[in-house]
Every structure is written in structure tokens, then in C-alpha cells.
Amino acid sequence: MDDVLSGLLWAISRLADDFPVVPGTQRLRVAESTRFLHDDGTPLRVRIWFVVVSESEVELLSIEAEPN
């Protein structure tokens, strides 16, 4: 899971504006992984909810991993 989180955080740090704004919100965005298998074999998907604060800053609001 560390690799998945690292990849999502890298994408947010480099391409935050490329993630679309969640419909019905003004600034909320979500980065979502593809489905992968956790160490115990459970299929998971990771989402990181965030907002772009400025050109050089994002605010991470939530990280969730849910069975898929």
C-alpha cells in the first residue's frame, strides 16, 4: 500500500490541477488508485481527497482505502 500512496501523493504534488473538481463542490478533488491486492489478498482502492489552496500548496483532507 505504501507504493500506491506514494504514487498518488506524487501525482497530486506534480499535477494537482489536472484532477477534476468533484461535481457539486467548488474546490474538492479526489485522486484514486486503480484496484490492487492488499498483502492479505483483499482487493482495495485508495482515494485521497484534497483541495488546491494555491499554485504551490494543496491541503490533504482524507485518505481512505476501501474494499472493491
- Mean pLDDT computed over 6-33: 97
Which of the four pLDDT bands, split at 50, 70 and 90, describes residue 68? Answer: low
Is pLDDT above 80 for 46? yes
Determine the Cα–Cα distance for residues 44 and 49; give it in Å rounded to an integer.
Answer: 16
| Rounded-to-integer distance, Cα 25 and Cα 40, Å | 36
Q: Could you tell me the pLDDT band of residue 57, with boundaries at 50, 70 and 90?
A: very high
46 secondary structure, DSSP code: E
- Give domain limits for the chain: 2-67
Radius of gyration of the chain (CA): 13
d(CA 31, CA 29): 7
**What is the model's pLDDT at position 16?**
97
Quote the distance between the C-alpha of residue 23 and its chain's center.
16
> pLDDT grade, residue 41 (50/70/90)?
confident
